[in-house]
Amino acid sequence: ARSLDKLYNFADCSGLHLIFALNAMRRNPNNSWNSSSALSLLKYSASKKYNISWELGNEPNNYRTMHGRAVNGSQLGKDYIQLKSLLQPIRIYSRASLYGPNIGRPRKNVIALLDGFMKVAGSTVDAVTWQHCYIDGRVVKVMDFLKTRLLDTLSDQIRKIQKVVNTYTPGKKIWLEGVVTTSAGGTNNLSDSYAAGFLWLNTLGMLANQGIDVVIRHSFFDHGYNHLVDQNFNPLPDYWLSLLYKRLIGPKVLAVHVAGLQRKPRPGRVIRDKLRIYAHCTNHHNHNYVRGSITLFIINLHRSRKKIKLAGTLRDKLVHQYLLQPYGQEGLKSKSVQLNGQPLVMVDDGTLPELKPRPLRAGRTLVIPPVTMGFYVVKNVNALACRYR
C-alpha cells in the first residue's frame, strides 16, 4: 500500500496518468490466475479514490523462462476477463481502462499467444500493447545506432501485430507500451547517449506514420541505462529530444514527398534511406505558432551534410530551426546536447532552460549537418489539414 501511495502521488503530482500492471504470476493449481492479492490492492486503491488504469502481467511470452510456468494466449484472455469482472463491481473502476497483453517481440510463438488472447479477450482491452527492443545490450557498439536496417525492424513488427488485432477487433487501438534501445536494461555510455536518440526519434516518427498513437518509454529514472534522467535528475539526450517532440509535434501526421530521395526499388533490393524526414501539424498547444503551421523532424545518418529545399506552399515561409547536436569531446557517446549551438542544462532544480529556435530566412535551404537530428517549424503555412483538430 505504501509503495502504491508513493507511485500514485508521483504520477498525480507530475500531471501523469498511472497504468498499474498487476502480478499475473500468482497461479492456481489449474493454471488460472489467482486474483486474491490483486483484489486486496484494488479495494485499497478504490478506498483512496485513485484514478488508475489497469493491466495484467508483463511479457507473458517469457513466463516459462522467468518463472518456470507457461501461460498460453487463451488462458491469458480468460485471466483478463476475470480481471474485468473484478473491476466492474468497484464503482470507481467500473469503467476503468484495461490494457494488454504487453507481449514481447512478435516472433512466431508470440504471435500465436497474441492470436489466442485476441480470440478470447480482444474486446475486453481498450488498447492492445506490445514491447520492442532494438538491440541485444550485450553486443552493442555506437555505430549500431546508425544502421538503417536496425531502424526498420520496427515497421515489420507493427504490421504483424496489426494483422492479428484487425482479424478479431478491426480498428482496435495498438500501443507500443515499452520501447528500449537495448535489452538487459541497456548499455552504459551508449543507450543513454546522443547516439541512442536516432532510434528514439525514428521510432516516434515511424509509429505515428503507421497509426500507432501512444508510445510508452522505458524508463524515466533509475532502471538500467535507458532512462531519461540520470541519478542526479539531470536530463539526458533523449529527455531533451522528447521534450522538443512534445512541444513541437502535434498528433496529425502529414505525407512527405522528397524529390531525389525516393529511388526506384529494384527486385530483391530494399531501399533504406539514411535521410529520414517526417512531418506533422505543429502542436496546437504551442502558443508560439499559429494553427496551420507544420513541423518537420529530420534524421541525417549520412557522414556528410545534406541540403533540403522546401517546395510548393512551404517555399517562401519563415522556418524556426531546433537543431540538436552532441556537446563535448565524446561525440555521439555524449550525455550532453546542444540546441542550435547552445548547451542544454537545467537553470536550477525546478527550471528548464528556454528552448530558443534559430530563425531561418524565408526561402533558405535547410542544411542538415552529418549524423544529427533536428526539428524545423515552417511558420504560417496555413495548411488546411492543420487548421482544425
Spatial separation of the C-alpha atoms in residues 347 and 1, rounded to whole Å: 36
Q: H or E segment at 293?
A: none
Q: Is residue 338 part of a domain?
A: no
Q: Is residue 327 part of a domain?
A: no
How much is the pLDDT for 79?
Answer: 97
Write out the E strands in the chain. 18-22, 52-56, 98-103, 127-135, 174-182, 215-217, 249-254, 275-282, 294-300, 306-308, 319-326, 337-339, 342-343, 358-360, 366-368, 372-378
Total domains present in the chain: 1
Helix, coil or strand: residue 268: coil
Q: Around 110, how many Cα atoms within 13 Å sit in the side-chain half-sphere? A: 20
Helix, coil or strand: residue 71: coil
Q: Is residue 359 part of a domain?
A: no
Spatial separation of the C-alpha atoms in residues 312 and 310, rounded to whole Å: 7
Domain containing residue 52: CATH number = 3.20.20.80
Q: H or E segment at 210?
A: none
Spatial separation of the C-alpha atoms in residues 20 and 99, rounded to whole Å: 10
- Whether residue 326 contacts residue 335, with contact meaning beta carbons closer than 8 Å, is answered with no
Tens of pLDDT, residue by residue, the chain (389 residues): 999 999 999 999 999 999 999 999 999 999 999 999 999 999 999 999 999 999 999 999 998 888 888 999 999 999 999 999 999 999 999 999 999 999 998 889 999 999 999 999 999 999 999 998 776 655 578 888 888 888 888 888 999 999 999 999 999 999 998 776 655 555 566 778 999 999 999 999 999 999 998 999 877 877 666 789 988 889 999 999 999 999 999 999 999 988 876 555 555 544 468 999 999 999 999 999 999 999 999 999 999 999 999 999 999 999 999 999 999 999 999 999 999 999 999 999 889 999 999 999 999 999 999 999 999 999 999 999 998 87
What cell does 96 get? Answer: 476503468
Spatial separation of the C-alpha atoms in residues 37 and 51, rounded to whole Å: 19
Best CA proximity match to 62, nearest among 178, 196, 151: 178
Best CA proximity match to 373, nearest among 336, 324, 339: 324
Q: How many CB atoms lie within 10 A of CB 234?
A: 12
Q: Is residue 350 part of a domain?
A: no
Crossing angle for the helix pair 197-209 and 237-248, nearest 10 degrees?
Answer: 30
Q: Is residue 194 part of a domain?
A: yes
- The domain in which residue 217 lies consists of 1-226
How much is the pLDDT for 270?
Answer: 44
pTM of the model: 0.91
Q: Is residue 218 part of a domain?
A: yes
Spatial separation of the C-alpha atoms in residues 375 and 156, rounded to whole Å: 26
How much is the pLDDT for 133?
Answer: 78
How much is the pLDDT for 88?
Answer: 97
User: DSSP labels for 129-190?
Assistant: EEEEEEE-TTS--GGGGG-HHHHTHHHHHHHHHHHHHHHHSTT--EEEEEEEEESTT--TTT
Spatial separation of the C-alpha atoms in residues 24 and 294, rounded to whole Å: 44
Q: Is residue 71 part of a domain?
A: yes
Q: Is residue 309 part of a domain?
A: no
How much is the pLDDT for 237?
Answer: 95
How much is the pLDDT for 185?
Answer: 53
